[in-house]
Amino acid sequence: MKNLIKDLKRKDHKRYLGGLEVFKYIGPGLLVTVGFIDPGNWASNFAAGSDFGYALLWVVTLSTIMLIILQHNVAHLGIATGLCLSEAATEYTPKWISRPVLGTAVLASVSTSLAEILGGAIALEMLFKIPISLGAIITTAFVLVMLFTNSYKKIERAIIAFVSVIGVSFIYELFLVDIEWPLAARGWVTPTIPEGSMLIVMSVIGAVVMPHNLFLHSEVIQSHEYNKQDPSSIRKVMKYELFDTLFSMIVGWAINSAMILLAAATFFQTGTSVDELQQAKALLDPLLGNQAGVIFAVALLLAGLSSTITSGMAAGSIVSGIFKESYNIRDSHSQIGVLISLLLGLLLIFFIGDPFRGLIISQMVLSIQLPFTVFLQVSLTSSKRVMGPYVNKMHTTVILYAIAGIVTILNIMLLVSAFTEL
């Protein structure tokens, strides 16, 4: 009887440890999540909520669903092949296809870095009255020091901490306002495109489904020391990766939704259109109290710093992949990618007259580039030559191409609306 009890306890202990095992696979998804709760998202989400109330919440829902599918798919590419998206494109795609797509992906990363650095600079101005130009230099310098001197693991832990602070900040602020939850519930699931909202719709999509994050996820999934030496262990990693992706992307969905909810409940209800993030803080102070305004600025600073780190890493991964190398900050190609993204993004800030509109347009640029990256990704993950036994199933390929098609159609609608307004 005693031996039986010991066996049962041993089995229960193993089941307990097995249940906890999933947590060691959490990390890459959260790292990517930082990329779509960046200052560009803040601008797009606050513009969406202040101008259109709860009407554009569905864009966050649609974007998050697309993001989960795309990130899960590109993570499988990294797990199954041991290559990031850039490396795989260079290895298996003709140069006349891969080089232009990867080149535009680098430019998209520059656009992302511009938004991230600018957001950090705006936060420094809010908190310490530091001029935008000087704040942008300080933000860039801080991120470069973190990327060039710290190990990846230290950066990852810091970034996950930043995400936690940002999430807590917005959850805290939701308790300070009155949300019309029936309207919000309808907005999450009912697609509508109010007149004049097309630019904001595309900005929100570009801010959530960011091209550089697809490259980053396929890279960082390999940095974890998973056992991927046999088919059973590979499938195990893929199973737990899905949990990591779902958990992380839902966290991102909640935070992005919270931004729109806050803007709708405060600015839209008072008929105030937000056209700069500094204005958002000034409005939050009387509406929600001084403490909420400080939380807003601190969270914006953390979002700017952490998302600039991931943007730089993504650019380093793309450039190193062009030379068939993995991301390594000690390697010159990775360093070049990081410097191109951050320094060009910093340089462009000095030519921006309207920082808030610059943030929104930077996210729209990401949406325009997105179909090129998605079509490239799907062509690779649907190839048996690339993926072997882990190639996409037919229905997965159809869904992925449908996502690329949806974004392409929305881009065409944006161009049509832009020409119509001329």
Per-residue pLDDT tens for 184-217?
999 999 999 998 888 899 888 888 888 888 898 8
pLDDT of residue 8: 39
Q: If you write DSSP's letter for every residue of 113-149 in order, what string do you get? A: HHHHHHHHHHHHHHHH---HHHHHHHHHHHHHHHHHH
What tens digit of pLDDT does each residue of 303-347 get? 788 888 889 999 999 999 999 999 989 999 999 999 999 999 999
Q: Do the domain assignments include residue 191? A: yes
28 is a domain residue: no
The pLDDT of residue 215 is: 92
Residue 9: pLDDT band with limits 50, 70, 90: very low
CATH for 134: 1.20.1740.10
Residue 234 structural domain? 39-421
Assigned domain for 348 exists? yes
Rounded-to-integer distance, Cα 201 and Cα 205, Å: 6
253-257, 371-375, 418-422: which has the highest mean pLDDT? 371-375
* Count: domains in the chain: 1
Q: How far is residue 19 from each of residues 22, 132, 232, measured CA to CA in Å?
A: 6, 48, 18
Decide if 400 is inside a domain: yes
What is the average pLDDT value for the chain, to the nearest integer?
82
Six-digit token pair at 394? 């037919």
Q: Please measure the distance between the N-terminal and C-terminal CA atoms of the chain and give it in whole angstroms.
A: 85
Segment 357-376 mean pLDDT: 88
Is 322 within a domain?
A: yes
In a domain, 43, yes or no: yes
pLDDT surpasses 80 at 38: no
pLDDT at position 33 is: 62
Domain-located, residue 10: no
For residue 3, being part of any structural domain is answered with no
